[in-house]
Structure 1
């Protein structure tokens, strides 16, 4: 049986500044809340290097609410925007703090900022700044992670990495962050840092020196517990699986996703070529085998890792790809919202648009004739009225043989809401993925492996900080 997989765009928003981080709130009462961070390098005066931390970088933090009230109503509504220093990463704490959601933010001025989600008198929620801690002068805070990935509310801490190659661990008080330790971890930029969610005394870091390192805070930080050079370029993404102990996913500018067993880091469990440089990885919040990858120059992909995690090894097949962004794929996240059944199918599904070439088979691609076409215009009519994707000709053509709509009657079917953002076109996309697994897995694995190999051909990898293009790019 052919696996049924379909991605559908729900809404696109222009963030005005370059978008590089997006996060759905993980707390049940606020699953419909979405945060998006942006980063913009302002033209520097003569004599100031654009790569320097002293260069001017501005950002904006957006807050949205998702409500799918009807076919003619855009589901995402902006409820707040806050001008900030440029944002490199944002992460919600997985547990409430003082009974409220807490959002961490890593900024280009070397700060960690904490924002509390509160309710206004009008009944709408909003963010208020509760803490700001500088991790060091003349550096960019590049990433952050919370120790609360498995819902443990005791001893909540934050780990962050920076452009000076340092990693810092901070404890969380009621209204402040307190620096516990900071050490030089990498020779160049430390792009990523993350906790092991199963043993939060273990910290992982990845840097532009092409090294993945582990640190045991109980043993001190003068020496890593391991150093891996398995990635051939800078390591920029690390995520601990919250459902499977010892499982770790890493991504790199070398365009590969590696899965690891934390008990044996001499050799990865699997290596999957995706193309484009893997900037962010996110395990699904409830399905242990699903991994979302943001691949910079090669869009967004959903990997199925069951065979690897059950000891089978090999390349992780790609279940679906979201290829509607026109620029660098940076931010990506799964929502925990429960979607009620598939979206209604329009009679226009299957109508071929004059302006798009569409690839079927579970991988959605739209190629515009005009290089200046923008997605938001395709979702509005002449009067600015919102038109859902299933009413627009620019949608994926489907047929019962090639890409049937997954059935909500199947108990194994899965419907997911996702948000992704891209950089130079400053776009935020909200989309839906419906999937019904096949019974045997053979077709899925063969098709997925071929897709991964195809994506790895002819890709260009550029080692640049978000917003600072390499020579000749764009």
Structure 2
């Protein structure tokens, strides 16, 4: 039988509510982690202020008897809604983009210090417009393409903005109204960066061709039944797109046919962020708000075999809304630390009949809305509330790998916690019938 284990390596109190974490994707800086926070100050109820803090950490697994994560910088900022590293260097330096509550996209450049550490230097601010919050951003560089660097961002007015980067400065080249309410998420198609996607609180997923008039989307999907808040293009496999929503479902799509998803996986919580693994094309990390963090195996779905994606692992040690999550490219060496066996990940997700009144409220990190979902009996019942069995067998994650060890980071909102953890998976390699599959 195979095995799948998640283990906490370190927990850090961010003091302010934590909502976004990003490992640097550049190999020489893969040990660098950024974390952004968001805090609504209600001292003045008519004009509440939103403050934030940007943390920079470095991870060193070689230190003995010392926690591996070390804080190396903290910077007070406007409240941060999203962070994304550029996947390529600009002028020889890594760049971190930041979407803020004051309607700006900020750029910070990473530099090496004389003592062998790194620091972020503020480079520039670009305003998206008055009276708006910048909610998300994505770089066009998801597959390592450094030509024509651009940033796509979405905001609280429902607008999208495309920004062009030249010499550390961003300038807007297009802006248009895309959604009726907050545009929670925006993303490039990494295989054709003239194609972009957006999701909004109007429950719509839309596609756009930057070569065409932005007033006309290439498609509009209402397949999600609540606000669309996460989108990620698969950087390893062309045409594969993952989307998530407050409706608690992860949908996988073939970009060539957006009328019907390839698969639908109930995640048990609003899907705030989705991240494809930086190396293994079938692994998808989901931050599921009220239902922790999960790793999905998507091969059968992306191969066209349909059905929900099995959950290989769950990290359940946060005590608040699961918002930020990311994979590190840093290879882990040595055996995992000794720890008690975690609660086993079930092979199926069953939404049981509630025995008492159950009320779940979904809150955006901007606190701009508060939605309660109940049936006529006052019970919370998400769409498609059925038991979902994990299909088997699931192939190995790589042609010749006997096991996989991954480093991840995640953060939760109201308890203002950042967790660094590892996931070790040893798939079932052979059975008497010669089939392969994981142990869930």
Give the TM-score band, short-chain normalised: 0.7 to 0.9
- Return the match for 1:145 from 124, 138, 144: 138
Which residue number corresponds to residue 374 of structure 1?
Answer: none
CA shift, 1:344, in A, is: 4.6
The residue correspondences of 1:14-413 to structure 2 (distance < 5 A) are 14-46=13-45, 48=46, 55-345=48-338, 349=340, 359-361=343-345, 411-413=401-403
TM-score (norm 1): 0.79
Unaligned 5+ residue runs, structure 1? 49-53, 351-357, 364-409, 449-474
For 1:428 and 1:190, the matched residues in 2 are separated by: 26
Is residue 5–residue 362 contact of structure 1 (8 Å, CA) maintained in 2? no
Q: Using the TM superposition, give the Cα deviation of residue 123 of structure 1 relative to its aligned residue in structure 2, in angstroms.
A: 2.9
Give 1:362 shift.
7.6
Instruction: Please tell me whether the aligned partners of residues 246 and 261 of structure 1 are also in contact (alpha carbons under 8 angstroms).
Output: yes
- The aligned length equals 386
Conserved? CA contact 1:166–1:190, under 8 Å? yes
Alpha-carbon distance in 2 for matches of 1:91, 1:440: 40
Conserved 8 A contact 1:319-1:444: no
CA drift at 1:411: 3.1
- 1:441-467 Cα offsets, whole Å, 9 max, x none, are 98968x86xxxxxxxxxxxxxxxxxxx
The Cα of 1:224 is off from its aligned counterpart by 0.2
The match for 1:470 is none
* Counterpart position of 2:410: 420
Deviation at 1:44, TM superposition (A): 3.8
How many angstroms does 1:436 deviate by?
A: 1.5
CA distance in 2, matches of 1:44, 1:181: 37
1:204–1:215 Cα contact (<8 Å) kept: yes
TM superposition shift of 1:359: 2.4
Alpha-carbon offset, residue 55 of structure 1: 2.7
Bigger helix share: 1
Separation in 1 of the partners of 2:246 and 2:112?
41
SS at match of 1:137: coil
Shift of 1:360: 2.9
Equivalent residues of 1:62, 1:82 under 8 A apart: yes
Distance in 1 between residues matched to 2:345 and 2:239, nearest whole Å? 34
CA deviation digits over 1:294-321, x for unaligned, max 9?
0001000000001111111100000000
Structure 1 residue 136 displacement after superposition: 1.0
Q: Distance in 2 between matches of 1:439 and 1:241?
A: 26
RMSD (Å) for aligned C-alpha atoms = 1.9
1:310 match: secondary structure = helix
User: 1:439 deviation in Å?
Assistant: 3.6
C-alpha change, 1:266 and 1:76, in structure 2 (3 Å) is: same
What is the deviation of 1:361?
Answer: 4.9
In the alignment, the residues of structure 2 paired with residue 279 and residue 96 of structure 1 have an alpha-carbon distance, to the nearest angstrom, of 28
Partner of 1:377: none
Structure 1 residue 424 displacement after superposition: 0.4
Structure 2: tracts of 5 or more residues without a match: 348-399
Separation in 1, partners of 2:406, 2:30: 13
Structure 1 position 430 matched with structure 2 position 420 = yes
- Are 1:327 and 1:424, in contact at CA under 8 Å, matched by a contact in 2? yes
Cα distance in 1, alignment partners of residues 306 and 89 from structure 2: 37
2:344 and 2:212 map into 1 onto residues whose CA distance is 52
For residue 163 of structure 1, report the CA deviation from its aligned partner.
Answer: 0.2
**2: CA distance between counterparts of 1:112 and 1:289?**
31
